[in-house]
Amino acid sequence: MSADRPLRVLFLCTGNSARSQIAEVLLRHFSRNRVEVFSAGTAPQREVHPMVRETLKALGIKAPPLTPKSMGRFVGQHFDYVITLCDEAADTCPIFPGEPEQLHWSFQDPAAVNDANARRRAFAQVANGLAGRIREWMSLPSIRNRIDPGEPS
Catalytic residues: 13, 86, 93
Q: Which of 95, 109, 104 has the alpha carbon at shortest distance from 137? A: 104
**Closest CA relative to residue 140, chosen from 81, 98, 61:** 81
Quote the Cα angle for 67-131-14, to 5°: 40
Residues 45, 20 contacting (CB under 8 angstroms): no
